[in-house]
Amino acid sequence: MGDVPDDHPRAQSLRMRARIEEHRATGLVAETGPIAHGRGEAFDYLIGERTPDPVFEDIETAAAILLEAERPVISVNGNTAVLVAEEIIALSSSIPAALEVNVFYGRTQSREAQIADFLRSKGALAVLGVDPQAKVPHLTSARGMVDREGIYAADVVLVPLEDGDRTQALIKWGKKVISIDLNPLSRTALDSTLNLCDNVVRAVPLLEKAVRELRGDEDRLRRLSKNVNNRRSTGRVLEFISTRLNSLAHDMTQTNESPM
Ligand code: PTJ
């Protein structure tokens, strides 16, 4: 991380990448974690590396769903732990929601325990998902093993940063899934009850703030959670991206500057 000077125009992004790389070496992040991160970076460029305007409302809606849940659970994989450990722990105590380690790659008790220990070292009091014994019906991947006290019994599961087979299985099982995925067209994003198309490093603190602000406002909570429509939310994000790209293209094609 020492290689990145403070005045580098992309210092923050390079530091995040360095964290992922450092923890890939320790095994906390999966071998393919840096690829997933790079995919996220590419989509982040498309939205301008800021929370898209329509996603602020989606974040409020997600906060309402989490506050109204009876047994909300936050699922944590390697990339999420490394990028937002403290923020996800703060969110879990604000809601409150249980934290459960759930990984796809190299699922062994030792990787689960490594992520759980990492979260505890950052202040988590309890972490579920180490050597889980329950199964998500009709899900054959490693993500299918879940904690009896956690995802198994949950009514709402927050799934940051994952593209895969689990969301659909959880939905079919009768659970609500809120995903955080920069790719609005990923399977997880499309299948979830509500996707937050934003970088997890921005979305989680905004979600925590929304949880704090909305708590106790029963009318608003009911109105927000009744109004969930993931297709409409995804459509608004796609419109946001296309408007942004069209406007950039327009500015660039209208410029009178001559090529170097
Ligand atoms: O720790 P494990 O074993 O559970 O593995 C975790 C990864 C992320 C490696 C695994 O779930 C995976 O391979 O995911 P995918 O299929 O690459 O999907 C990750 C999705 O998250 C992609 O749609 C990315 O665009 C998106 N993404 C990546 N980084 C971020 C992100 N979304 C939000 N914030 C990010 N920082």
Segment 225-245 shows an average pLDDT of: 97
Residue 203 pLDDT exceeds 90: yes
Residue 68 pLDDT exceeds 60: yes
Give residue 1's pLDDT band: very low, low, confident or very high (50, 70, 90).
low
Contact predicate 74/102, CB 8 Å: no
Distance CA 66, CA 248 (A): 36
Residue 7 pLDDT exceeds 90: no
Distance CA 235, CA 100 (A): 31
Contact predicate 229/112, CB 8 Å: no
Residue 16 pLDDT exceeds 80: yes
Q: Could you give the dihedral angle defined by the CA atoms of residues 39, 41, 43 and 49, in that order, rounded to the nearest 10 degrees?
A: 170
For a mutational test of ligand 1's pocket, the pick from 31, 39, 87, 202, i.e. the residue with the most ligand atoms closer than 8 A to its C-beta, is 39
Question: For position 258, what pLDDT does the model report?
Answer: 66
Distance CA 139, CA 183 (A): 23
Q: How far is the CA of 219 from the centre of ligand 1 (A)?
A: 35
Q: Is the CB of 181 under 6 A from ligand 1?
A: yes
Segment 96-125 shows an average pLDDT of: 95
Q: Is the CB of 76 under 6 A from ligand 1?
A: no
Question: For position 189, what pLDDT does the model report?
Answer: 97
Structure tokens of 102? 């759930």
107: CB partners within 8 A, 6+ apart: 142, 143, 145
Question: For position 109, what pLDDT does the model report?
Answer: 86
Please report, rounded to a whole number, the percentage of residues in the chain having pLDDT higher than 90.
Answer: 87
Residue 166 pLDDT exceeds 60: yes
Contact predicate 105/30, CB 8 Å: yes
Q: How far is the CA of 40 from the centre of ligand 1 (A)?
A: 7
Q: What is the pLDDT of residues 210-225, one digit of tens each?
A: 999 999 999 999 999 9
Question: For position 108, what pLDDT does the model report?
Answer: 85
Give residue 77's pLDDT band: very low, low, confident or very high (50, 70, 90).
very high
Q: How far is the CA of 213 from the centre of ligand 1 (A)?
A: 29
CB pairs under 8 A, 24+ apart, for 170-179?
Answer: 170/136, 172/137, 172/138, 173/136, 173/137, 175/151, 176/65, 176/69, 178/62, 178/65, 178/66
